[in-house]
Chain A
Amino acid sequence: MRRLLMSVLLLVGLTAAVPAQDLKLPMKMGSVKFAVIGDTGTGDSHQLAVARQLATYRGKFPFEFVIMMGDNLYGGNGPKDYDKKFAIPYKPLTEAGVKFYASLGNHDDPSERFYKPFNMGGERYYSFKPANSSVRFFALDSNYMDDKQLAWLDKELIASGSDWKICFFHHPPYSSGEAHGSDTTLRAQVEPIFVKYGVNAVFTGHEHFYERIKPQKGIAYFIAGSSAKLRAGNIAPSALSDKGFDTGFTFMLVEIVGDDLFFQTITEKGATIDSGTIHRVGKVEPTPNRTAQPVVSTGGATKGTTTGK
C-alpha cells in the first residue's frame, strides 16, 4: 500500500514537472496563427530552450510564421553568427516551412535585411499580409525613425483599409522597465500615426522581459524581449502595466479570428504566464484627426508569476 502511495506521489510529481502546454487559443481552421519572439540573438542555452518550446508548441498550434522584435544577432554579424544565433536554433521551424519576419534592433547591422530567411525584402522597414487574411503587419526600424520612414508608414497604413493593423519594432513606446522605460521621443513620432490610422496592436522588444501594457488610446502594446535575454526584476511598479513577467524567458503565440486577437505567453519551461483576448470594435477605417480609437478591450485570465515587483 505504501509502495502504491509512493508511486502515485512520484507520478504526480513527474506530471507537475512536465511542461504544461495548456493551449487556450481557439485554434480554429483558417485563422491567422503566429508567434512572437524578441531579443533572441545570443545563441546561448536560453535561446535554444525557447526555440525548443516554440517547436514543441507548433505541434499543437501550427503557426505559419514568427515575427521578431529585433536584436536578432548580438555581438557580430559574420556567417557563424547567423548560424549560431538564428539558423541552428530555429532549424526545426524553418525546415517545417515556418517563415520568420525580422525587425532591426540596436544590436543589428542594417545589412541583416539582405538575409533571406529574415524575409525583410532587403528593406529596413516593410509590410506584409498573410495570404487569405485580413491582417497586415508593419515591421518598422525604430533605430532610425526618420521622415522618410514616417511618410512610408503613413502611406502604407492608409492603404491597408479595414485590415487588422499590427506594427512591430524594437523600442517600446510604453514600458515599465527600469533599464530603459518608455521611449517617449519615439512615441511622440509614431503614436499619432497609429491612432490616426487605427493600428490595433503593437509588439516590441528591447526590454528583456514580458509586459502587457494597459491599452493606450485604444491600442494594445506588448513587450516581448525575453526570448533569449532576461533582466530579472527589472519591471518597476507602474500604472501602465496590465501584466509583467521578468523572472523567465518567454515567447508569445497569437491567433486572430474575425475581430478577436487571442494571445498566450509561455515560458521556456512551457508554463503559461499570460493569456487573453483583444477585441476590436468593428472595422476601423483610417480617419483623419482621430485622437483615440474605439478599440480595444483586453481580457482573459492571467496566471503564473505576477506582475513585476
Chain B
Amino acid sequence: MNVIRSFGVIGVACVLGASPAHAQSSPPKPQISDATKAKAAETHSNPDALVLQDFTKRIEAYMAIHKAAAKDSLPIKETKNPGDIKAAQLALAAKIRAARANARAGDILTPEIRNKFRRLVYPELKGKAGQETRENLTEDVKEKDEGQPKKMTYKVNAPYPEGNALPTTPPNILAALPPLPEELEYRIVEKNLILRDVQANIIVDFIPNAIQ
C-alpha cells in the first residue's frame, strides 16, 4: 500500500515538475506579513507600498555602510593603471564585508520583498513579449563559444565571479523594479535576481527563483 502511495506521490511530483507552463500561468500570490498588514490597517496604507518603503529603507541603510566604507578606501577614479582600479575595488569590498560580516541572505530582500519583486517581474515574462524577455535572460548562458563561466556562488558578500558575463537586465524588468542608487544594480543570473554592488563587485543580497 505504501508502495502504491509512493508511486502516486512521485507521479504527481513528475506531472507538476513537467509542467512549467502551469507554474508560469499562475502569478505569485501576495505574501504580506502580519506586522505589515497591521501597520497598513493602522496607517490606512497599501500593504504593497509599505513593503516597497521598507525596501527603500534597507537600501538606504546599506548605502550608509557603502559610503562610510568608500570614504575610508582608496578612491575609485579614472586612471591609466588598471591595477589601481582593481585595488580600489578590492579595498572597498573588504571594508563592506567587514562592516556586514554578519549579513545574511534576506536581510535586505526580506521574504515579503522577495515576494513583491516576484510579483513585479511576473507580468514582464508573460505572453509573446514575455517570451522575448525570457530569451534575453538566458542568452548569455547560451553563449557557449564565449568560454565556460565560473561557478556562481549565491552568497551575501561573495564576489561576482571575475570573467563571467554580466547578464543584461532587460529594460522592461528594470522599469518594473524599484530604482536603485548608481552604486547598486539588479542582475538576473539563471533564475535568480542578484542585488550587486557595482563598485565593490559583491553580492549584497539575492532572490532565489525570482524568475518563475
Contacts and interface: CB of A to CB of B under 8 A. Distances in A.
Contacts of A117: 80
Interface in B41-87: 76-83, 85-86
Contacts of A107: 146, 165-166
A110 B169 CA distance: 14
B175 A147 contact: yes
Interface in A122-178: 122, 142-148, 171
A89 to B, nearest CB: 15
Contacts of B80: 115-117
Contact of B78 (A76, A109, A116, A142): A116
A116 B185 CA distance: 23
A106 B133 CA distance: 16
B171 A114 contact: no
Interface string B180-198: 0010010000000000001
Contact of A171 (B76, B79, B168): B168
Interface in B112-169: 129, 132-133, 136, 139-140, 142-143, 145-147, 162-163, 165-169
Contacts of A188: 171-172
A180 interface: yes
B167 A115 contact: no
A114 to B, nearest CB: 5
Contact of B82 (A79, A108, A144, A179): A79
Contacts of B132: 184-185
Given A111-B201, A147-B175, A231-B145, A106 B86 contact: no
A186 interface: yes
Given A78-B86, A79-B86, A111-B89, A147 B174 contact: yes
A109 B170 contact: no
Nearest to A78: B86
B179 interface: yes
A110 B198 contact: yes
A248 to B, nearest CB: 16
Contacts, number: 101
Majority DSSP secondary structure for residues of A touching B:
loop
Contact of A74 (B77, B147, B179): B147
B115 to A, nearest CB: 23
B169 A143 contact: yes
Contact of A106 (B77, B81, B167, B174): B167
A114 B79 contact: yes
Contacts of B139: 180
B79 A116 contact: yes
Contact of A148 (B136, B147, B179): B179
B168 A142 contact: yes
Nearest to A83: B82
A116 B85 CA distance: 10
B8 to A, nearest CB: 43
Contacts of A79: 81-83, 86
Nearest to B76: A114
A77 B145 CA distance: 19
Contact of A114 (B85, B140, B174): B85
A189 interface: yes
Interface in A160-216: 171, 179-180, 183-186, 188-189
Given A114-B85, A145-B174, A185-B170, A74 B146 contact: yes
Nearest to B81: A79
A122 to B, nearest CB: 5
Contacts of A171: 168
B82 A115 contact: yes
B175 to A, nearest CB: 6
A282 interface: no
B199 interface: yes
A77 B201 CA distance: 12
**Leading 7 A-B pairs by shortest Cβ distance:** A82-B82, A76-B163, A145-B171, A189-B171, A79-B83, A146-B174, A143-B168
Given A106-B165, A146-B175, A184-B132, 17 more contacts: A74-B146, A76-B163, A77-B85, A107-B146, A110-B198, A114-B79, A115-B82, A117-B80, A143-B168, A145-B174, A147-B179, A171-B168, A179-B143, A185-B133, A186-B171, A188-B172, A229-B145
22 contacts: A75-B163, A76-B162, A77-B82, A77-B85, A77-B86, A77-B162, A106-B165, A106-B167, A107-B165, A110-B185, A110-B198, A111-B201, A114-B77, A114-B79, A117-B80, A145-B171, A147-B174, A147-B175, A185-B129, A185-B132, A185-B172, A188-B171
Interface of B: 76-83, 85-86, 89, 129, 132-133, 136, 139-140, 142-143, 145-147, 162-163, 165-172, 174-175, 179, 182, 185, 198-199, 201
